[in-house]
Amino acid sequence: MAPKPQPLEEGTKAPAFKSKTHTGEEIKLSDFKGQHLLLYFYPKDNTPGCTKQAQNLQTNLKKLAAQNIAVVGVSPDDNDSHQRFAEKHKLAFPLLPDPDRKIIEKYGVWGEKKNYGKVYMGLQRTSFLIDGSGIIQHVFKRPKTNEHTEEILSWLKANT
C-alpha cells in the first residue's frame, strides 16, 4: 500500500514552482512576493465539489483581494480542460495544469484515497495560505468546498 501524502506544514518554506496558466501566462511563486497566495489543489475540473470550491473562491475574490490574497488553482487536468472549466464558470484567477504532478507532489498532496470502499491514488483536496515571503502560514486540509473563503477569512481574523 502506498504511503499517505504528507502535505507541507505551517511555518515551512513553500516549494518554488514555475508553470504556465490555462491562459498561457507563465507564473512562479516569487511573483507573489509581498502578498498572500492561496495555492489550492483540487482533484478534477467540472466535478461537483471542485466546481463548488472554484465558484466559492470566484464569488469572494474581492473579499480575498481586500486581504491581499491572490488565488491560484492546481489540478492534474490538462490545459484544455482548465480553459473549458475557467470559461464555463467565469473564473478570473489562474489555473495551473499539472498532469505530470510535479507541483502536486512537491506540495505532498498526491496519495492514497478511499471512496465508497475503493482505494486508489489521487489528489487530496488541500489549500496552502502562503505569506509574502514564501512561508506557509496555514494548511487547509480537506476544506469545505462551498465555504472555503469563509474558512480562510475566519483563520486570518483569528491569527492576524
Strand partners, 123: 110
Active-site annotation holds for 157: no
Question: Beta strand pairing status for 36-41 and 126-130?
Answer: antiparallel
Strand partners, 126: 41, 141
Rounded-to-integer distance, Cα 2 and Cα 112, Å: 6
Which residue out of 29, 39, 50, 86 is catalytically annotated?
50
Q: Would you say 112 and 4 are in contact if contact means Cβ atoms under 8 Å apart?
A: yes
Rounded-to-integer distance, Cα 102 and Cα 17, Å: 9
Element holding 54 (H helix, E strand): helix 48-59
Length of the chain: 160
The residues assigned a catalytic role are 50
